[in-house]
Structure formats: C-alpha cells, structure tokens
Structure 1
Amino acid sequence: MVTERGLQVLRAIVQDYVDTHEPVGSKSIVERHAFGVSAATIRNDMAMLEDEELITAPHTSSGRVPTDKGYRVFVDHLAELRPLSSAQRSAISTFLADPADLDDLLARTVRLLTQLTGQVALVQYPSFAAANVTHVELVALDPVRMLVIIVTDTGRVSQRLTSMPEHIDERDVPVLRAQLAELVTGRSVRAGSERVEALRASAPAERGPLDHALLALADVVGEELDEFRQDRLVMAGAATLAKREQDFRGSIHPLLEAIEEQVTLLRLMSEMAADDQGLAASIGRENEAFGLTEASIIASEYDAAIGRARVGLMGPTRMDYPSNLSAARAVARYLSRLLDEDEGRR
C-alpha cells in the first residue's frame, strides 16, 4: 500500500527522471522538492516504492527510475494536467484555422501535435459508415477519362480519376450522373455501398455502351464508399523516433513497423480505456499484446458529427505525461469545436 507521501515521492521521481534523463536519488529529491523531511526518510519511502515495483535501480548504487507500473500509478494519480502556455494555445487556433476539408484538418492536427510535443502524433478518422452521401459529380476530362467526385454530409470528399471502357459522349454524362445519384445520394455510405453491390449482381448479361459505362462508374463509387467505411489513421513525427532512440530501452523497429502497418495502432487506439474526461493511456508492457512494450500511447477523444474518435501521441515510456495529455486534450477539444461549427454551417 503506497502512502500519500510515497505517491508524492513517486511523482517527484517521475518528473525528475523525465527532466534530467538520469536516475533519481534521495538527496536530489530533498534538494529539488520541498518535502520537509530528511534524505533518510525519503530513502525509506523509496524502499517502499521499490517493494511495490513502482521504481527500480538500473545500476548498483545508482538512483532509481520509474517502472512501467510506476508510470501507470503516476498517470492514474495525476492531480491535474500541465496547462498549455498562451503561445501554445495561440498556435493551436492559428494552425488549425480555416481547413480546406477534413483531410486537411486532420493532417494539420498531427503536424501541430508533433511540433508541440516532439512525439509521434496519431489521429483516428471518425467512422464514415453512417455518413450520408449528399452529392455525386462526374467531370469528363476527355472521351475515355472521367473524374468521379463523391461528397458526404460530414464534409468528406472523394475524387477519383478513372478510365472508361469505351468512349463516352458528353451528352451521356448527365444521364450517367443522374443514374449514380439515384443509386447512392440521400443514403448512408453503408446503404450506398450495398446498392452498388446489388446493381452489380443484377446487371444483365447483354449490355449496351451506357450499361458498361454505368457499371464501370458504379464500381468506382462502390470502391470509394468502401474506403469511407474503413478505419483510418493519420500520423506525423515518425522521424522523432530516430532522434530519441536513446530514450527507448530496446529496439524502435516494432514502433516503425506499427506506423507502417497502421492496423496495430488502430486496434490499440480503439481499445484503450478512457477516463471520465475522455483521456486514455497505455504504458509499456500494457502494450505487450500489440508488440509495443517499448512505447507509451496517450489519447484524448474528440467529437465528430457521426461519432467519437481519438487524438493521440506515441513515444517512450519516459515521457512528459502531464504536458502530453494536456496537449492532446486541448487539440481534441479544438478539433471538436471546429467540426461542430462546420456541421452547424451545413
């Protein structure tokens, strides 16, 4: 059982270890923190923390460093998050202002977060399976190339250039556009995708030129709607891992592989348990099932019109949890506000 002062000592060890990158001893704690007790008393507290496996000695006769369990207790007992500076708050509002679309907004979000924290930044796309298709547009670039544009009520826009199976007369473009609109507009992404499948299944064996063109375009629309339904993750700051490789106890290759594959990080981000503020953390060995025992991932939820998703950071277990959680929460709140305002304008 950890005492209240023991928790304060743990907090001091975590903070000092993050700041100095050096194991922390009782003498430095007395010098840097106003506990009002002797170094001998602090040593007793540290011994109890070591018995609880919250801190450990990396070398004989050295100071102590937090364990993964120690970081977990530290995060669970955070009294408050470190407030952002006025410059940081200004940077968030400036950097995220007036995005072109959701893709642009989320790309800016991860770039901003990695600049604020020096960690790998991660943002989940909200699931678009329940979004409604509001518009389908066709633009004939020449007789055999067509630009297919799909817009949803959440602001998601898809543009796909495709080659037609045969030449298309410009007079046929409005007809094809109307047929595709009848097929998917006003319906959810999921329902639209199902109607495209039904069209393919019911297509007659004998087809005219317009039938071939419609099926080719419907295939494109179906593929794009299926893409809308997929979970997606946007990331920035992978280069920071190489710069901070010495902060990791082992190899950073599993982290680089997770960044490249995305599926592992999507699962982890989705499964992390959040507190009543929408904040979540998964630390070190808690990530063993995902092959990421060298890393910590923290996240904050943001709200979109069609549901919730997460903004997160990935880095070494020795990270500045109060500042990183604060940055993720601030950016997530601003992201929610922007998306809410955008929804209100539509």
Structure 2
Amino acid sequence: EAAPAREGEAAPAREGEAAPAREGEAAARRTPGGAEAEPRAPSPAGPGVAPAGASAASEARSAGEGPRTGVAPPATAEAGSLPLALLRFDSEYDGDLWAAAHLVDGRSGRGWCSSPEAKAPHRFVFGLRRPARVVAVSFDDACPEARGFEGIAARDFALYGSTAGPDGPFELLLEGRLGAGRNGQRFPLPRPARVRALELRLRSNHGHPELTELMEFRVHGEELQDTAGAALRLEGLRASRSKNGPATDAPFRPGERVWINARPVGLAASGEGTTHLEVDLQLVDAAGRPLLRRERVVNHAARPPRPPRRPYVALYLDLPSGFPPGRYAVRLLARDRVAERSAAGQVEFSVAE
C-alpha cells in the first residue's frame, strides 16, 4: 500500500487507477479504451495597454528675469506587454501542468507552482528581445484553491532589472503585494526603467505551508533601439548671435539677445521610432552663483529628422537694459527620456557695459 499523503498533497493513485487532478489543473483523463484525452484549453490572458499620444516641442524666451517657458506635457506613450523569455528559475511543481514556462505563455488558465521542497524567495530571470523601457508589470493571481490548497497564491514580490543582461548585476525596481484571487493586478514602476533583463522574486504566499502559485506575469513598456555603447552628449554647445549660428567670442551688450545652440547626439528611439528630449537651463555669474533656473525649457517628443538633417537645441536669453557687465555661463542639463540617460554642458559669454 502507498503511504498516506501529507496535508495539502494529493494521495498517490492505487495500482490501476489514475491520480486525481488538483482543481485548476488541465489533467488528461484516461478513456475506457486506454487512450488519453486532450487537456481542457485554458482561458486567454487579458489585453495589454494601447499606446497613447506623445507631446510636442516647446521653445523658451527670457526677458530680464529669465527664459519664459512653454512646457508641453511629457510623452505618455505606453506599449502593451513585452515579449519575455524565461531563462532561469529555482523550482517548479512539474514540467508540464504547473511548469514555470506557463508564467509567460499569455494564458491565465495555466500557471506555475513551486516544488514542495523549495523555499521562498522563488526566483525567475526573464530576458527581453531588445532593450526596453519598462513602465509597469502586471500579474494574474487567481490561483485555484481546492481543499488543502488554501493560501497558495503568491503575495509579496520584488522586481529587479539589469541593463547588462540576464547575468546582472540587478537593481531593485519595485516591491509590491498581490491580492489573492485576482487577475490583472497592475503595478506601475516608481519611474520608467531601461533594462535588458528582469528578475522576479516571489517572497511569500497567502498562508500555504509548502506551495506557492502564480498564473501569469507580464511586463509593460516599449522596446528601444539597441544603443549599447552609445552615450548622450551635447555637441557644439556655443553662444551665438543667431539661431543655430556660429560661436562668438565678442561680448554682448544689455538689450541684446544671446542664443545658446547645441546638438544632442546619442538620443535613443522608442519602439515606435520617436525620441524624447528634455533640457533644463541655469544662468550663473562668474563666481558660479545661480541667477536663473528653468526646468524643461525644452520638452520635445517626435520622430528624428531624416539625414542629413540632425536635431538641435536653440534657446535664447534677452538681456534687459542695465544688465550688469561681467562673465556669465549657461549650464544645460539634457535628459533622454526614452533611455533615461542625461548629459550636461556649459558655455560662457561676457557682457560689456
């Protein structure tokens, strides 16, 4: 005779009998003729998030007190769930009905269950097809809880990301808690993250002493152009007397307009081919004391121009009458909101009496 099952486990089948399936499993049933019937098809997972629109450009002006900013709303483009490849995991209940691969098969009717011997945290490493800007994750946690399997649904989790790849290093992106019995639980990241790989850690469940389950895991965001090795930089940063004009060393005078021109290089493009640039401006005196600070004087999301045309930044300051003579500097901080990178630059100019 077979030994009695532990609490929470299904008893093994007696010789000549098929083992009963756990509730929620699509177990094959033996027919009278000895053949196996096909498992019942699971229900499909929910839809992703459709992309939204992007913002337009803005230009800044100064009249004595500093640039007047016309800040456009930031881009909110958000694609649906990204394709994931399960690369590594700690355990699974079996390699078929409760396999780890079911976490990313797009179907919430089948899921993953831990091995009875495995202890939390349960780790999964996922690879992305291309570098991606991740904005949120979502979970299906409506796990079947037949008698003896109460509290089996995953609860506390942590999400880590790596810009290098599946071997890390990984940095913490998000922590959260899942409600049992609910699908489509969505968790926005505190800020978008550019990653190549993700590690999900399930830290606890809702009370089952041995097993943990999760039905589906999704990552939301947009794929990026692979810009490995590239870095955002501001080229040709200069003070000029005209828009996109040449650099000048001649001093400016009160009442004149000072153009600050630069060319951003290394902007990453989203999966839809758009770039998103933000620029902050600061004016300081010869001692480095700030006289003026404006955030997002540029907030531009659009498709880049076709070669040989290249994107550029052109800002101007109108010096009021009576502006004190001396040496000044304009500091720019540029941010690539697609790849979440930044670059800084400074240009000096002088004002004569």
TM-score where L is the length of structure 2: 0.20
Greater strand share, structure number: 2
Greater helix share, structure number: 1
- When Rg is computed on C-alpha atoms for both structures, the one with the higher figure is 2
